[in-house]
């Protein structure tokens, strides 16, 4: 049945005897990855009966085009009803994978594409692994979902790659916006044994299996546990900073990884089973499953994106040569691999940016460094299909550079990376608001104006997808979604400071929600000048809700000064409630204005663009479940109908 993963067996003759070539396939294209649900486990059991009884010399396990295996079926995880169900699911996976590990001949996982969670655990149960150089998505996302790898990942990874690599892959990467690794890093860490080109990948993997048969297996160095105590102590500190104790999963994962040093594999499996039983039905895991589903549904096929053919983008122009422009140019080159030109008013800034970009992209693909050029003139933008401006946030400047680009590239789609200004007022065709740091945060707010054509919008989303980002469609409105919500929160916190509360108290009010960083840290990361500029933009549009802050203005001028207007201190709990009520009110207004089409768009934006943690399940879900939405809006935000629709 299409959609259900099966293990397909093909017999391949070789000079050492027949090789079992097994392919995981669900009958769908690469946009619907193979997963490991109940039907896949049943298919694997039937396959193992054949593999254990034949005259096989080796086995090579691979995936359908572009995908090895995306891991456990998230829908089945969400349906786990009891700890016993979770334990049984973990035990069933261990039983199947252990039989693969025990096959009496060499086994090779040929990782041809995305390899996540249970898919990576499946690969680790093979004797060796090849990996295609094109693979970009390999890792363990489970901790981000408030569970742990439950099919051997916490035990086999440290045994293979050592405790430091295991901690990074299983614990810290998921807490860093679910960071994944690529093929080269997998080889460097020791997770994969041979890096192969995608062309002839399966044939080369079969040849590698023959090689293993002829030389009697593969030898690896023993992992180094000598600095384990320091590794785990530092990891716990990083986890504390990231989740503040709001979810147990990363702490449990660290304990399981540490246990791998002394436990037998069977003891480690048993510990994983019990841990998954405890975590899988927790409120945090339920919330994370909801958040994951929201992100997938709202960004895989964003509502409102026209079903028209996108324009081919064969040349890109970027206006600006500052930090953001340099990050964007690097991303576009790496992902699109098309000619790119950079323009700024000073050649020295262009030269500095070009040097950084060429060093970044040329390290692994030298030819990419030859695709980028730049200067101070506009003529280089001739022939561009897409021009993206990334100059400083001043409307007149943005309007001027976009008009100049239009003169030399009249057919190009003109896009802006503005964080708060009107896309239409500056003359851009579409907004592409990336978040800093570009390499880490996956969100792009794709901004449609009254003049954006269907082709322009479809092209914008196509480019975002090719860049490996997640796009959410928003209407042109001051500060769009993420910055508008965060600035509304900031006004509450600044008001508390200006009435006598301390920075420590305002930080604690927000950190108690489980957010990844304190507001004071976020302010320094964004920059007080930028934050104050966004506030000024929103104040001009909505003065009642976004009052100017003398304290933020002082910060923007470089003065570390809190301007106390009057003493009227609040408790931390009162500040937290004021923040939540302000956010609920602002979400309602975003819906009323049609900036987003559903409350879940706000959830997706804050998760992907502000690091709102999966284990809280999305801000609107939290507001609904705590009664804040009912109190402020009059109904749960999930049920709210905008005023214009009533």
29-43, 47-61, 245-259, 290-304, range with the lowest pLDDT: 290-304
DSSP element (H, E) containing 97:
helix 83-101
Q: How far is CA 325 from CA 50, 210, 346, 435, in A?
A: 56, 48, 14, 12
Contact 326, 353 (CB under 8 A): yes
The rounded distance, in Å, linking the Cα atoms of 280 and 298 is 24
The model's pTM is: 0.87
Other C-beta atoms within 10 Å of 84: how many? Answer: 11
pLDDT digits (tens, 9 = 90+) for 316-361: 999 999 999 999 999 999 999 999 999 999 999 999 999 999 999 9
Phi then psi for residue 471, to 5 deg, are -100, 140
* Structural domains of the chain, with CATH: 6-281 (3.90.226.10), 316-475 (3.40.50.720), 482-645 (1.10.1040.50)
pLDDT digits (tens, 9 = 90+) for 520-554: 988 988 889 999 999 999 999 999 999 999 999 99
pLDDT digits (tens, 9 = 90+) for 490-515: 999 999 999 999 999 999 999 877 67
How far apart, in Å, do the first and last CA atoms of the chain sit? 43
Contact 335, 466 (CB under 8 A): yes
- Given a cut of 50, whether residue 309 has pLDDT beyond it is yes
**Average pLDDT value over all residues in the chain:** 94
Q: Which pLDDT score is estimated for 644?
A: 55
Contact 435, 443 (CB under 8 A): yes
* Pairing between β-strand 6-12 and β-strand 470-475 as defined by DSSP bridges: unpaired
Q: Which pLDDT score is estimated for 73?
A: 81
- Given a cut of 80, whether residue 6 has pLDDT beyond it is yes
State the alpha helices, DSSP H only, in 168-314.
183-189, 201-215, 228-243, 249-259, 265-279, 283-300
The rounded distance, in Å, linking the Cα atoms of 42 and 37 is 9
The residues annotated with a catalytic role in the active site are 121, 142
Q: Starting at the earlier edge strand, list the strands of the sheet with 316-319.
A: 372-375, 340-343, 316-319, 386-389, 413-416, 430-434, 443-448, 470-475
Contact 295, 617 (CB under 8 A): no
Query: Residue 517 burial (CB < 10 Å; 0-12/13-18/19+)?
Result: middle
Query: Residue 118 burial (CB < 10 Å; 0-12/13-18/19+)?
Result: buried
What is the percent of the chain with per-residue pLDDT over 90, rounded to a whole number?
83
The pair of three-digit structure tokens given for residue 241, joined into one six-digit string: 């900073």
Torsion over CA: 606, 611, 616, 622 (sign): negative
Other C-beta atoms within 10 Å of 81: how many? Answer: 9
Q: How far is CA 114 from CA 54, 121, 131, 204, in A?
A: 30, 13, 10, 19
560-577: average pLDDT: 90
């Amino acid at each position: 049945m299409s959609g259900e993963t099966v293990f397909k067996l093909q017999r391949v003759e070789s000079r050492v005897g027949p090789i079992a070539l097994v392919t995981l396939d669900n009958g769908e294209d690469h946009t619907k990855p193979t997963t490991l649900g109940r039907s896949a486990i049943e298919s694997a059991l039937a396959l193992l009966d054949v593999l254990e009884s034949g005259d096989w010399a080796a086995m090579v396990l691979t995936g359908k085009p572009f995908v090895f295996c995306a891991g456990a079926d998230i829908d089945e995880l969400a349906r786990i009803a009891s700890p016993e169900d979770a334990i049984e699911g973990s035990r069933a996976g261990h039983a199947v994978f252990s039989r693969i590990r025990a096959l009496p001949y060499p086994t090779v996982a040929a990782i041809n594409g995305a390899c996540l969670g249970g898919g990576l655990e499946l690969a680790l149960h093979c004797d060796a692994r090849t990996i295609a150089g094109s693979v970009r998505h390999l890792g363990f996302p489970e901790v981000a979902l408030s569970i742990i790898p439950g099919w051997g990942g916490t035990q086999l990874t440290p045994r293979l790659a050592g405790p430091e690599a295991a901690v990074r892959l299983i614990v810290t990467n998921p807490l860093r916006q679910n960071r994944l690794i690529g093929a080269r890093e997998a080889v460097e860490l020791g997770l994969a044994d041979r890096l192969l080109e995608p062309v002839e990948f399966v044939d080369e993997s079969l040849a590698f299996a023959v090689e293993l048969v002829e030389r009697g297996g593969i030898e690896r160095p023993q992992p180094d546990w000598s600095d384990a105590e320091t590794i785990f102590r530092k990891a716990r500190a990083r986890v504390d900073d990231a989740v503040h104790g709001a979810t147990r999963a990363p702490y449990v994962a660290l304990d399981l990884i540490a246990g791998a040093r002394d436990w037998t594999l069977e003891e480690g499996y048993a510990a994983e089973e019990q841990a998954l039983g405890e975590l899988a039905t927790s409120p945090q895991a339920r919330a994370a499953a909801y958040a994951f589903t929201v992100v997938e549904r709202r960004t895989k096929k964003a509502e409102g994106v026209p079903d028209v053919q996108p324009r081919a983008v064969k040349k890109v122009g970027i206006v600006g040569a500052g930090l953001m422009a340099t990050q964007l140019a690097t991303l576009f080159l790496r992902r699109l691999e098309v000619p790119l030109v950079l323009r700024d008013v000073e050649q020295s800034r262009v030269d500095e940016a070009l040097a950084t970009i060429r060093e970044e992209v040329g390290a692994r693909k030298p030819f990419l460094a030859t695709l980028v050029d730049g200067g101070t003139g506009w003529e280089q933008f001739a022939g561009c299909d897409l021009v993206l401006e990334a100059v400083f946030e001043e409307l007149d400047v943005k309007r001027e550079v976009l008009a100049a680009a239009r003169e030399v590239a009249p057919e190009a789609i003109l896009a802006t990376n503005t964080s708060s200004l009107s896309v239409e007022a500056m003359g851009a065709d579409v907004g592409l608001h990336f978040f800093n740091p570009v390499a880490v945060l996956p969100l792009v707010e794709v901004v449609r104006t009254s003049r954006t054509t269907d082709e322009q919008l479809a092209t914008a989303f196509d480019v975002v997808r090719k860049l490996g980002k997640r796009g959410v469609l928003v209407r042109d409105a001051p500060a769009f979604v993420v910055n508008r919500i965060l600035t509304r929160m900031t006004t509450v916190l600044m008001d508390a400071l200006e009435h006598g509360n301390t920075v420590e108290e305002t930080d604690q009010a927000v950190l108690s929600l489980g957010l990844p960083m304190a507001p004071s840290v976020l302010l320094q990361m964004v920059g007080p000048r930028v934050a104050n500029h966004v506030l000024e933009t929103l104040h001009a549009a909505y003065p009642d809700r976004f009052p100017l802050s003398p304290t933020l203005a002082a910060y923007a001028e470089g003065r570390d000064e809190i301007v106390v207007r009057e003493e009227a201190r609040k408790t931390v709990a009162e500040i937290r409630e004021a923040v939540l009520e302000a956010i609920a009110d602002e979400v309602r207004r975003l819906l009323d204005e049609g900036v987003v089409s559903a409350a879940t768009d706000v959830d997706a934006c804050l998760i992907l663009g502000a690091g709102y943690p999966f284990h809280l399940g999305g801000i609107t879900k939290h507001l609904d479940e705590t009664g804040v939405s009912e109190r402020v809006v009059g109904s749960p935000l999930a049920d709210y109908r905008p005023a214009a629709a009533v």
